[in-house]
Amino acid sequence: MTIRRPSTLAAASMTLALSCSFVAVPDAAAQSTGTNGATVSHIGVGATSTDMNFSWRAKSNGDEAVKYYPSGHPEEAKTVAAKEADYGALLYRSMHASISGLQPGAEYTYQIGSDKGGWTDPETFRVQAEGDSWSFLNFADAQIGVDLKVEEQADAWRTAVKQATGKYPNSEFILHAGDQVEGWGNPIKQWEAFFSAEELKNYPVALTKGNHETYNFSDKHFDEHGNLPNRDGRTANYFFERNNALFVVLDSNESSKGDIEKHADFVRKTVAEHGSGKDWIIAVMHHAPFSHGSHAMKDSDVKALRKGLAPVFSEAGVDMVMSGHDHMYNRSHLLNGLTPTVPDARPDAGDVLKPKAGEVLYVTTTTAGGGKYYDFHSPDGKSHPEITDRSQTEGTDLQAKEIAFWTQDKTPDYAVVDVDKDTLTMRTFNVADHSLVDEFTLDKSSTDRPAPGTVDPGVVTPGGGDADEDGSSGSSAGEIDASSAAGIGIGIAVLLGLIGGAVLAAPQLREIAAQVPQLRQFADQFGIKL
């Protein structure tokens, strides 16, 4: 097996850290899948509603596969061989498999494994039925592992998924808008915790790459678990079709001018080639273009993504953009490019919105893991921890003109999205008590919207509506853009490697190291007691 190593100067100082990340032994709970060594398994969305993707870790060196059959008919069993997604792990193999040609509306039973290593216990999934009326579930930022509280956040995540699927068992799949894990700390343990939600064996999940999937060399772990359909080369951009809807998922961590142009081309091409006949075009990206959170208001990478992609979404005929990252709930006004359409009436839960050509709705979902929340930020980038209710900002310059509805109640949320031919309704709920956070409907029954990808670019307003119209980053003192963060991250990695060695050699430094969060994470990953 080939072990891939970083080519940067940090490689030498991070050899020990990388090795530990590669070989960390899964928890006992993660090893309990069936009777074989297959662990951390889940099903993922396939290219279409009649496809299904699989991902798991195997401890056997046998030929791994998926066995499946219509439930109740094992005599019709078929087997599809898996391929190894080799990202350098030593104690397990990362396996991917895909099956296609499934019967719409049918339930299937499946097992994963091999004759040599054994097969997992049977699990089931249901194939989406044909038709224009169906539902899916939406989450964001489980981010398991914040402050090393893996089990606490894993429990919150499991509760959210269990509640959502229990309330809406007919949902077709689970969309997660990025930051599945914290990244810092032990990413292997964190991914195990994310997939410890048993429902992910029965409901296909659509993963989105968040910024925390890039920390601590976590990219490889995302690739291990992300068996993404229609993936665009080596990027984490991909798309999938579900009956009358097209989903375009973007890796918003890639935010340079060239990256944004590639995102734009991917959106245009995907919608042009696969959006015909679709009632709904939904884009997904972790970084929220419009929000009252700190990232949307201050970060240069988010501002660049907003300015570069919002006009493209309008041009291409995207109906809604779903995001996370800001750890608070936000719903925008309908926007044509960067220009909001502000209604006369006060936006509120239950709004029915009738989009015109080029108008897009942006929704940001708060954390499903509860590890952290961000304060309300005004358009000037200032934090206002004392502001927790939107009534405190209405009619003032604290309210962003692009945002229609926001809330920060500092509790985990999830959403159910009901898709119909002419309407799309999203209801967001508080996990703690299932209270309604927000509800809105996009209604296209009485609007004359052109087919996706055919909007006259002249309707788009690429200029106005952004606080940084001069193209400056707008980052305040102390803020770090994406490229700087990468350099600093390497520096931290080198520092951690050096200091970690010193801690091992000099136990008297452990008390000092315990006061530094990054060093606590380093120690946790290596089993060092501070």
454-467 residue pLDDT tens: 554 444 443 334 44
Residue 195: inside a domain: no
HSE at residue 96, side-chain half, CA atoms within 13 A, is 16
| Confidence label for 483 from pLDDT (cuts 50, 70 and 90) | very low
CB 371 within 8 A of CB 153: yes
Residue 72: inside a domain: yes
Mean pLDDT lowest for which of 5-14, 84-93, 118-127?
5-14
Concatenated DSSP letters for 388-414? -SGGGTTTSTTS-TTEEEEE--SS-EE
More confident site: 117 or 153: 153
Residue 164: inside a domain: no
Residue 465: inside a domain: no
Residues 341 and 373 in one domain: yes
Residues 408 and 487 in one domain: no
Residues 426 and 513 in one domain: no
Which strands sit side by side in the sheet containing 205-207, from one edge to the other?
A: 83-84, 93-99, 52-58, 39-45, 205-207, 174-176, 134-139, 413-419, 423-430, 436-443, 351-353
What is the pLDDT at residue 169?
Answer: 98
Residues 248 and 354 in one domain: yes
Residues 26 and 37 in one domain: no
Residues whose CB falls within 8 Å of the CB of residue 517, separated by 6 or more in sequence, listed in order: 147
Residue range(s) defining the domain that contains residue 26: 1-32+482-530
Please determine, for residue 492, whether its predicted confidence score (pLDDT) is greater than 50: no
* pLDDT tens string 467-476: 444 333 333 3
Q: Give the count of domains, the chain.
A: 3
| Confidence label for 447 from pLDDT (cuts 50, 70 and 90) | low
- Residue bearing tokens 């068996």: 227
At CA 235, angle to CA 232 and CA 240, rounded to 5?
45
Residues 69 and 150 in one domain: no
Residues 385 and 522 in one domain: no
Please determine, for residue 45, whether its predicted confidence score (pLDDT) is greater than 90: yes
What is the pLDDT at residue 36?
Answer: 59
Residues 405 and 519 in one domain: no
Residue 90: inside a domain: yes
Nearest to 330 by CA among 297, 303, 304: 297
According to DSSP, the β-strands at 205-207 and 376-377 are unpaired
CB 159 within 8 A of CB 134: no
Residues 411 and 513 in one domain: no
Distance CA 181, CA 187 (A): 7
What is the pLDDT at residue 248?
Answer: 98
More confident site: 99 or 40: 99
- Listed ranges 136-140, 232-236, 449-453; the one with the highest mean pLDDT: 136-140
Across the range 345-369, mean pLDDT stands at 97
- What CATH number did the domain enclosing 47 receive? 2.60.40.380
- Residue ending a domain, among 459, 490, 506, is 459
- Residue ending a domain, among 408, 426, 459, is 459
Q: Classify residue 181 by its DSSP letter.
A: B
Residues 393 and 500 in one domain: no
What is the pLDDT at residue 453?
Answer: 59
b/e map 212-238, b = 16+ CB within 10 Å:
bbbbbbbbbbbbbbbbbbbebeebbbb
**Structure-block tokens of residue 408:** 């920060």
Residue 221: inside a domain: no
Query: What angle separates helix 15-23 from helix 517-526, to the nearest 10 degrees?
Result: 60
HSE at residue 390, side-chain half, CA atoms within 13 A, is 22
Estimate the share of the chain in helix, then strand, then coil, as percent rounded to the nearest 5: 30, 25, 45
What is the pLDDT at residue 38?
Answer: 79
Residues 394 and 527 in one domain: no
HSE at residue 330, side-chain half, CA atoms within 13 A, is 33
Residues 516 and 392 in one domain: no
Residue 477: inside a domain: no
Helix (H, G, I), strand (E, B) or coil at 32: coil
| Confidence label for 119 from pLDDT (cuts 50, 70 and 90) | very high
Residue 415: inside a domain: yes
- What CATH number did the domain enclosing 407 receive? 3.60.21.10
* pLDDT tens string 78-93: 999 999 998 877 788 9
